[in-house]
């Protein structure tokens, strides 16, 4: 199966459906992760978390969203108004655009680009420009320092992220994200044991995951927003809906980078290594759709599991210092990532 | 120009447009970047209270740091001159709101010593018990907040879970959760409720078990070590010069503790262990805090073994008057040494009550500690030099 389910004869209808699907997923998935963060973090910290908004606080995030809309939208007097207003959008849109190339199930993708990995990684770093814009235009020293930290962090962590993904591309022999998922299903250790790339690429997966934490400014790499030092970094001066956009961008970023890790290393929509999805007809649903739905459920399960690990990290680790982070990146992660590529390349040629 | 330095090859690419040109580098040949002045506080999450630190930053490096205090000055010392001794006890447990019982104890001791009162044995033992519970309560707070400042958000919730239990215990005896006002001149407000000692013994076991959770969460954490080891080293002589005391002083290796050197109440009857550190860095200060919780629990256990039955109060006239004279009383408060200098002219209120509070001296060392540190380390230092802003300003 190499065609998107949404590839209809009518191009415009297909486009409309794709956009609707992406925006829908983009608005709902971060809420799921946000809810897990609320409750998971709470229970790790011996408290209950939100309990009042609907059943066990399930309506807390929509309620927060409505509250944010009602808040006054303050733009500081000295702020660069245009840049200040645009920044949340610039931070938010890349996460949505990446979703266009991520396959969430068999046939469940908007576009299967031949350069999918390249596209996703290139777009993902655009959101840092949004952070820099916010930091620079806020006319606040705390924001500025947060922005500088964010920029330094991006430079240090983009490389391990890209190099980790490059090793996967090397092994799969394709840059298409759908192709990589299929390649993982066909991969056999020593030609016998079916396995996803997470095992042969264990080092690469580790580097990719840690680098994506740094890219997202999640603990223990949350120096750009470090609430006990810089108040809230680039978000210090934001209120209301614009602030909500930044928060949405953060959680959408978690979803997107987790999804990328799932696609690159954890076998995408396949439930187990070497095991396919059910594709028989159920009642009025054709087999294709059943497989797509089952695949979507599996992918979401894996995304949520990765997001849970990120939340777990937040509950466990203190924050690193900026110079320590740089040292780890340049002296350990980048050499390791290059070593990983070399090893993968050698095995590829030998095998 | 005589002060021109000629440096061939400084920043010049071979074959580039500047090759062969004479380069003038003036001064020391280093780019000077402008320092940034930053006000941390008075409203800032890291100063837990309203401390203000004015820092000059060169990049992320602190060139100069000046703590500015006085945002929480409430004039307790002056106010005490217009209150009688019973009222003062309710007053002094407010300036350091995390060690309320230890503060009121100091004032009661001062008045009692001036009056040469013999306080009942049981009252003195209960004072030791309460002071130690208060110490645990205080240290738990700082264990939690220090983690929070370094970005570890979980310990503070764990700490508050224990604090809740201990506060409940103390509430059952004193009626207060933060401002206990349990001490009276000549004894205590009332005896302990039935079952308090058993509950107290159970609580020491609980807190000991949970103390190990903090060790797991923070002490053994690689990132925590990387953030605190060799950060904010306070040499012993500098600490003494600034009058730093309490856990911050103990971390430098000096075991000066008023409970040992000048025992009050029944501290001479119990075995007080004073944990000391080796290097005086932030990590040591944190370790001392955890070790002091264990040490306090040991003292509580000893009190529970030794506490005698009997009255907890002496009969006093309606109006307590300290005789004419002056006295200085030292107590070991959770944050360091508390001093109470009481001058009386024989009336029902003091002529002057001067308090020496540990936080004030601890914060004085801040300029020394913060110089040439990184902004991130400043948070690690602020969190580990233990102070309460109300205790600084009084």
| Each residue's pLDDT tens digit, B300-344 | 988 888 888 888 888 888 788 888 888 999 998 888 888 899 898
Interface contact A222, partner B, CB < 8 A? yes
Tokens of B387: 């102070």
pLDDT score of B328: 92
Query: B50 pLDDT exceeds 50?
Result: yes
* Residue A155 to residue A326: CA distance in whole angstroms: 9
Contact B363, B71 (CB under 8 A): no
B44/A318 touch (CB, cutoff 8 Å), yes or no: no
- Which is more confident, B19 or B375? B375
Average confidence (pLDDT) over A102-126: 83
Ramachandran assignment for B23, one of left (phi > 0), alpha (psi -120 to 50 degrees), beta (any other): beta
ipTM of the complex: 0.76
B151 interaction partners in chain A (CB closer than 8 Å): 219-220, 222, 226, 228, 317-319
Predicted local confidence at residue A308, as pLDDT: 92
> How far is residue A160's CA from residue A173's CA, in Å, rounded to a whole number?
20
Which of chain A's residues have a Cβ under 8 Å away from the Cβ of B283?
none
| Residue A331 confidence (pLDDT) above 60 | yes
Calculate mean pLDDT across residues A196-216: 86
Domain assignments of chain B as residue spans, ordered by start: 1-32, 67-389
Q: Is A265 exposed, middle or buried (0-12, 13-18, 19+ CB in 10 A)?
A: buried
Task: Quote the pLDDT of residue B9.
Answer: 46
Average pLDDT over residues B54-68: 82
Contact (CB, 8 A) for B152 and B224 = yes
**Which chain B residues are within 8 Å of A318, Cβ to Cβ?**
147, 150-152, 218, 221, 223-224, 227
Task: For residue A317, give how far its alpha carbon lies from the nearest alpha carbon of chain B (Å).
Answer: 5
Residues 213-242 of B with CB under 8 A from A: 217-218, 221, 223-224, 226-227
| Close Cβ partners of B339 (under 8 Å, ≥ 6 residues apart) | B106, B328, B329, B330, B331, B354, B355, B356
A227 pLDDT above the threshold of 70: yes
Q: b/e for A85-113, b at 16 or more Cβ within 10 A?
A: ebbbebbbbbbbbbbbbbbbbbbbbbbbb
pLDDT tens-digit readout, B189-245: 888 888 888 899 988 988 888 888 778 778 778 888 888 888 888 888 888 888 888
Report the C-alpha gap between B393 and B75 in whole angstroms: 8
Is the Cβ pair B150, A323 closer than 8 Å? no
| Tokens standing for residue B262 | 């000048």
- Note the pLDDT of residue B52: 84
Q: Is A145 on the interface with B (CB under 8 A)?
A: yes
Q: What is the pLDDT, as a whole number, of residue B5?
A: 44
Cβ–Cβ below 8 Å for A226 and B151 = yes
Scanning the structure block, which residue is given the tokens 């660069």?
A: A80
The span from the CA of B387 to the CA of B372, in Å, is 22
Assigned fold of B67-389: Cytochrome-c3 Hydrogenase; chain B (1.10.645)
Question: Which residues 370-389 of chain B have a CB within 8 Å of chain A?
Answer: 374-379
* C-alpha dihedral sign at B253, B256, B260, B261: positive
Instruction: Please list every residue in chain A whose beta carbon sits closer than 8 Å to the beta carbon of residue B149.
Output: 228
Q: Specify whether the CB–CB gap between B169 and B133 falls below 8 A.
A: yes
- Per CB-CB distance under 8 Å, the chain B contacts of A316 are 152, 154, 217, 221
Shortest Cα distance, chain B CAs vs residue A150, angstroms: 14
Q: Is the pLDDT of residue A235 over 50?
A: yes
Write out chain B in H/E/C secondary structure.
CCCCEECCCCCCCCCCCCCCCCCEECCCCCCCCCCEEEEECCCCHHHCCCCEEEEEEECCEEEEEEEECCCCCCCHHHHHCCCCHHHHHHHHCCCCCCCHHHHHHHHHHHHHHHHCCCCCHHHHHHHHHHHHHHHHHHHHHHHHHHHHHCCCCHHHHHHHHHHHHHHHHHHHHHCCCCCCCCEECCEECCCCCCCHHHHHHHHHHHHHHHHHHHHHHHHCCHHHHHHHCCCCCCCHHHHHHHCCCCHHHHCCCCCCCHHHHCCCCCCCCCCCCCCCCCCCCHHHHHHHHHHHHHHHHHHHHHHHHHCCCCCCECCCCCCCCCCCEEEEEEEEECCEEEEEEEEECCCCCCCEEEEECHHHHHHHCHHHHHCCCEHHHHHHHHHHCCCCHHHHHC
Please tell me the predicted confidence (pLDDT) of residue B2: 41
**pLDDT computed for residue A2 by the predictor:** 53
Residues A291/A105, Cβ–Cβ less than 8 Å: yes
Peptide bond into B118 cis (omega under 30): no
Task: Give, in order, the Cα–Cα distances in Å from A304 to each of A29, A161, A212, A307, A332.
Answer: 9, 20, 15, 5, 28
The answer to whether A43 and A151 have CB atoms below 8 angstroms apart is no
Give the model's pLDDT for residue B4: 43
Predicted pLDDT at A192: 76
Taking the C-alpha atoms of residue A36 and residue A30, their distance in angstroms, rounded to an integer, is: 10
Residue-level pLDDT at B3:
43
- As a whole number of angstroms, the distance between CA B113 and CA B264 comes to 11
Chain B closest CA to A64's CA: distance in Å? 22
Provide φ and ψ at A76, rounded to 5°.
Answer: -55, 150
A to B CB pairs, distance under 8 Å: 77
**Is B149 in contact with A228 (Cβ distance < 8 A)?**
yes
Q: What percent of chain A has pLDDT over 90?
A: 3
Q: Is the predicted pLDDT of residue A279 greater than 60, yes or no?
A: yes
Give A112's pLDDT tier (boundaries 50, 70, 90): confident
Q: What pLDDT sits at residue A305?
A: 92
Query: Residues 159 to 218 of B: which have CB under 8 A from any A CB?
Result: 161, 217-218
Put simply, the answer to whether A318 touches B150 (Cβ < 8 Å) is yes
pLDDT averaged over every residue in chain A:
84
- Residue B10's pLDDT band, with cuts at 50, 70 and 90, is very low
Cβ contact B376–A226 (<8 Å):
yes
Taking the alpha carbons of B223, B225, B226, B228 in that order, is the dihedral positive or negative? positive
């Amino acid at each position: 199966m190499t065609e998107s389910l949404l590839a209809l004869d009518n191009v415009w209808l297909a486009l409309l459906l794709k956009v609707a699907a992406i925006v829908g997923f983009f608005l709902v998935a971060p809420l799921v992760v946000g809810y897990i963060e609320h409750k998971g973090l709470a229970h790790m910290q011996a408290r209950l978390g939100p309990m009042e908004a609907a059943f066990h606080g399930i309506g807390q995030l929509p309620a927060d969203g409505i509250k944010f809309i009602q808040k006054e939208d303050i733009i500081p007097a000295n702020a660069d108004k245009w840049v200040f207003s645009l920044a949340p959008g610039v931070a938010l849109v890349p996460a949505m655009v990446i979703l266009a190339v991520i396959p969430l199930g068999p046939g469940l993708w908007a576009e299967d680009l031949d350069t999918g990995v390249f596209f996703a990684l290139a777009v993902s770093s655009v959101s840092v420009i949004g952070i820099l814009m916010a930091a620079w235009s806020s006319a606040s020293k705390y924001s500025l320092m947060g922005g500088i930290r964010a920029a330094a962090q991006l430079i240090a962590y983009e490389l391990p992220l890209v190099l980790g993904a490059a090793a996967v591309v090397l092994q799969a022999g394709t840059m298409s994200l759908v192709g990589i998922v299929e390649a993982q299903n066909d991969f056999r250790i020593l030609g016998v044991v079916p396995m996803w790339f997470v095992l042969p690429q264990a080092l690469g997966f580790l580097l990719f995951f840690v680098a994506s934490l740094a890219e997202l400014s999640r603990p223990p790499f949350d120096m750009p927003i470090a609430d006990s030092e810089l108040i809230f970094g680039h978000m210090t001066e934001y209120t209301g809906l614009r602030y909500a956009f930044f928060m949405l961008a953060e959680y959408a970023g978690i979803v997107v980078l987790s999804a990328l890790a799932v696609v690159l290393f954890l076998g995408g929509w396949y439930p187990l290594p070497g095991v396919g999805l059910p594709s028989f007809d159920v009642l009025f649903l054709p087999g294709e759709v059943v497989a797509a739905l089952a695949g979507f459920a599996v992918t979401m399960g894996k995304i949520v599991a990765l997001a849970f690990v990120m939340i777990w990290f937040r509950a466990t680790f203190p924050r690193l210092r900026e110079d320590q982070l740089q040292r780890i990146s340049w002296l350990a992660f980048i050499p390791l990532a290059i070593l990983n590529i070399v090893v993968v390349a050698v095995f590829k040629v030998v095998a | 120009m005589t002060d021109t330095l000629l440096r061939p090859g400084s920043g010049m690419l071979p074959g580039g447009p500047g090759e062969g040109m004479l380069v003038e580098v003036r001064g020391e040949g280093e780019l000077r970047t402008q320092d940034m002045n930053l006000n941390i506080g008075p409203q800032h999450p890291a100063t837990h209270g309203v401390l203000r630190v004015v820092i000059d930053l060169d990049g992320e490096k602190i060139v100069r740091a000046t703590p500015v205090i006085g945002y929480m000055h409430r004039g307790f010392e002056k106010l005490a001159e217009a209150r009688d001794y019973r009222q003062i006890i309710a007053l002094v447990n407010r300036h350091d709101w995390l060690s309320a019982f230890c503060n009121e104890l100091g004032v009661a001791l001062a008045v009692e010593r001036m009056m040469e009162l013999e306080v009942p044995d049981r009252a003195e033992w209960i004072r030791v018990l309460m002071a130690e519970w208060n110490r645990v309560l205080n240290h738990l707070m700082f264990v939690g907040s220090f983690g929070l400042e370094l970005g570890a958000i979980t310990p503070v919730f764990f700490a508050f879970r224990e604090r809740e239990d201990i506060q409940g215990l103390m509430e059952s005896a004193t009626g207060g959760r933060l401002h206990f006002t349990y001490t009276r001149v000549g004894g205590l407000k009332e005896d302990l409720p039935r079952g308090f000692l058993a509950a107290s013994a159970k609580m020491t076991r609980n807190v000991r078990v949970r103390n190990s959770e903090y060790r797991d969460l923070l002490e053994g954490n690689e990132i925590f070590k990387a953030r605190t080891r060799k950060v904010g080293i306070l040499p012993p002589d500098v600490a003494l010069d600034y009058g730093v005391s309490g856990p911050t002083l103990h971390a430098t290796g000096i075991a000066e503790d008023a409970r040992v050197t000048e025992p009050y109440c029944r501290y001479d009857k119990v075995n007080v262990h004073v944990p000391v550190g080796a290097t005086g860095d932030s990590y040591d200060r944190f370790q001392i805090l955890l070790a002091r919780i264990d040490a306090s629990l040991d003292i509580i256990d000893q009190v529970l073994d030794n506490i005698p039955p009997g009255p907890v109060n002496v009969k006093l006239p309606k109006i307590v008057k300290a005789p004419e004279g002056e006295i200085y009383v030292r107590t070991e408060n959770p944050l360091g040494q508390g001093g109470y200098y009481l001058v009386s002219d024989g009336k029902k209120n003091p002529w002057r009550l001067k308090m020496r509070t540990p936080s004030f001296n601890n914060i004085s060392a801040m300029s020394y500690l913060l110089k040439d540190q990184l902004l991130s380390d400043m948070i690690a230092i602020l969190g580990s030099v233990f102070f309460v802003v109300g205790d600084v300003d009084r």
